[in-house]
């Protein structure tokens, strides 16, 4: 039996540029795969991103950089509002799983985590000890931070690192991407971009980080996170989340189309 830790990228489950637009078809396709994996006897843990339920307001009020005296009141309002929006997106993911007969339990980071980056503090044991047959879910969120920051953005990629490294027994760690088949030799918009099937730490990449919408680290944070996880977990992959059946192929055959991250 495998234990698969999957991250649904925010760009996969929402339209990133349009405030709070959920992609129900994409989510439903993912739920079907989770159901198939459970049917095959595997355990699944899910982390999801924010997309347009997090990045746009966070960008508008500079939430990632913490409290700013001149706009603190608006920032506090934005923090509450982003947390509510994230719960709403999380409910979409859970409802879709439930429609596919999968029971899940959510662990919103604003309840249990503080500080940002991969060394955030928080107890992962409730996620680890979630009842058998129940899929634990957590997500990128606004978390409380020590002063003077007061708040900041904890990315789902950082959650992947900590869960991947600290919860024993995870065999596969999969980043499902919304706009690419894996790591490309050039930005996805470049017609000459080719899929890199295996990526090793320090291998150069020419990525792009769309700072107009993205308040966390984009593809570079993802690579760094994946590379850290690959020190512990043998199967770390970037896979096209629009074709989630590739996850099944990976489990059945040991390989698929995507990028494997190795040490």
Contact predicate 79/215, CB 8 Å: no
Structure tokens at 6: 């999957």
Q: Give the SS3 label for residue 262.
A: strand
Q: Which CB atom, from 33 or from 56, has the smaller least distance to ligand IPE? A: 56
The yes or no reply on residue 219 touching ligand IPE (CB under 6 A) is no
Say how far apart CA 78 and CA 73 lie, in whole Å: 9
Q: Which of 35, 77, 43, 6 is nearest to 240 (CA)?
A: 6
Instruction: Among 45, 90, 138, 216, indicate the residue that binds ligand IPE (CB under 6 A).
Output: 216
Alpha-helix residue ranges (DSSP H) falling in the chain: 10-13, 24-39, 55-60, 72-99, 109-112, 125-128, 156-166, 218-229, 245-253
The yes or no reply on residue 177 touching ligand IPE (CB under 6 A) is no
The yes or no reply on residue 51 touching ligand IPE (CB under 6 A) is yes
Q: Tokens 């970037």 identify what position?
A: 238
Q: Is the dihedral of CA 62, 64, 65, 67 positive or negative?
A: positive
The yes or no reply on residue 92 touching ligand IPE (CB under 6 A) is no
Restricting to residues 148-167, which ones interact with ligand IPE according to CB under 6 A? 153, 155-157
Instruction: Among 49, 164, 241, 258, indicate the residue that binds ligand IPE (CB under 6 A).
Output: 49
Instruction: Among 50, 89, 219, 229, indicate the residue that binds ligand IPE (CB under 6 A).
Output: 50
Q: Which CB atom, from 87 or from 232, has the smaller least distance to ligand IPE? A: 87
Name the segment binding ligand IPE (CB under 6 A); options: 99-107, 181-189, 208-216, 226-234. 208-216
Instruction: Among 122, 140, 182, 258, indicate the residue that binds ligand IPE (CB under 6 A).
Output: 140
Q: Give the SS3 label for residue 245.
A: helix
Instruction: Return the DSSP state at 14.
Output: B
The yes or no reply on residue 138 touching ligand IPE (CB under 6 A) is no
The yes or no reply on residue 9 touching ligand IPE (CB under 6 A) is yes
Max distance between CA atoms of the chain, in angstroms, equals 56
Instruction: Return the DSSP state at 233.
Output: -
Name the segment binding ligand IPE (CB under 6 A); options: 128-136, 195-203, 211-219, 248-256. 211-219
Name the segment binding ligand IPE (CB under 6 A); options: 45-53, 73-81, 112-120, 130-138. 45-53
Q: How far is the CB of 158 from ligand IPE (least distance, A)?
A: 8
Q: How far is the CB of 81 from ligand IPE (least distance, A)?
A: 11
Say how far apart CA 189 and CA 124 lie, in whole Å: 38
Q: Which residues bind ligand IPE (CB under 6 A)?
A: 9-10, 49-51, 54-55, 58, 82, 86, 140-142, 153, 155-157, 214-216
């Amino acid at each position: 039996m495998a234990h698969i830790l999957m991250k649904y990228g925010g760009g996969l489950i929402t339209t990133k540029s349009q405030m709070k637009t959920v992609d129900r078809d994409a989510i439903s396709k993912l739920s079907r795969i989770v159901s198939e994996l459970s049917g095959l006897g595997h355990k699944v843990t899910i982390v999801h991103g924010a997309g347009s339920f997090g990045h746009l307001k966070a960008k508008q009020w500079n939430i990632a950089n913490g409290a700013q005296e001149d706009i603190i009141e608006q920032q506090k309002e934005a923090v509450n509002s982003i947390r509510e929006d994230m719960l709403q997106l999380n409910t979409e993911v859970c409802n879709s799983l439930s429609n596919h007969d999968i029971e899940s339990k959510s662990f919103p980071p604003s309840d249990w985590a503080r500080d940002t980056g991969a060394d955030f503090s928080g107890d992962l044991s409730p996620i680890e000890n979630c009842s058998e047959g129940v899929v634990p879910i957590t997500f990128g969120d606004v978390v409380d931070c020590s002063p003077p920051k007061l708040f900041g953005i904890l990315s789902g990629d950082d959650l992947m690192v900590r869960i991947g490294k600290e919860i024993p027994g995870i065999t596969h760690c999969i980043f499902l991407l919304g706009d690419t088949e894996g790591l490309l030799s050039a930005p996805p918009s470049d017609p000459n971009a080719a899929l890199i099937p295996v990526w090793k730490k320090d291998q150069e990449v020419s990525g792009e980080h769309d700072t107009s919408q993205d308040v966390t680290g984009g593809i570079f944070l993802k690579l760094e996170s994946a590379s850290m996880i690959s020190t512990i977990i043998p199967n770390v992959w970037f896979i096209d989340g629009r074709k989630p059946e590739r996850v099944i192929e990976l489990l059945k055959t040991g390989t698929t189309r995507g990028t494997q991250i190795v040490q």
